[in-house]
Amino acid sequence: MISKDQSIITQVAAKIAADLTPKTDDIMTNIANWALAFDATTEALLGVHGMSKDTSTTSGFATEQEATQSLQEAFGATEVTNMPQAGGFQVRIKGKQHGPIPAWLNEECAKVGVTEVWDNRDGLAANPKRPWFKAVQGDKAFWEPRKRK
């Protein structure tokens, strides 16, 4: 039997896993990818809150590192270090993220209410005037703040 808190966390993990799962025409691949994402997400969320998964189910991985590596390979993910957040606000990157999220971006997005941006830093070498980040909805663009001399 799981507690009400564990039940809520499990439901949230299921939704996150569904969002992380790339959709293909092969239903069995979709299910397998979802199961991997669900297992890792559930374990991570429960761990953050000092809880553990029911020991009657196993993921099939010997270690958490093995499970993480499998997920990274399956979804093409990379580990991102957490940057300081502006008052608990954390902007989301849509598409491919090109490095850690700078703290100034969280602050600027929080000011104007932008919650999701495209990361354009990969094209800065070709076009340095291009905005570093662009809001997914609306026309807001964000450049690195100028340094005061």
Per-residue model confidence as pLDDT tens digits over 8-52: 888 988 999 888 888 878 788 888 888 888 888 888 888 777 777
First CA to last CA across the chain, in angstroms? Answer: 61
Q: What is the pLDDT of residue 118?
A: 92
When the pLDDT of each residue in the chain is averaged and rounded to a whole number, the result is 79
Higher pLDDT, 106 or 68: 106
Q: What is the pLDDT of residue 87?
A: 52
Nearest residue to 97 via CA among 80, 74, 85, 110: 80
CA distances from 25 to 22, 31, 120 (A): 10, 11, 30
Higher pLDDT, 126 or 86: 126
Q: Residue 149 — pLDDT band, cuts 50, 70, 90?
A: low
Host domain of residue 28: 4-75
Whether residues 100 and 59 share a domain: the answer is no
Whether residues 20 and 52 share a domain: the answer is yes
Question: Treating both helix axes as pointing N-terminal to C-terminal, what angle do 27-48 and 64-75 enclose, rounded to 10 degrees?
Answer: 140
> Domain total for the chain?
2
Q: What is the pLDDT of residue 54?
A: 57
Neighbours of 86 (CB within 10 A): 17
Per the domain annotation, does 149 fall within a domain? no
Neighbours of 6 (CB within 10 A): 18
- Residue 58 reports pLDDT greater than 50: no
Whether residues 38 and 65 share a domain: the answer is yes
Per the domain annotation, does 148 fall within a domain? no
Per the domain annotation, does 80 fall within a domain? no
Whether residues 17 and 64 share a domain: the answer is yes
Summarize the confidence of residues 54-67 as an average pLDDT.
Answer: 59
Per the domain annotation, does 147 fall within a domain? no
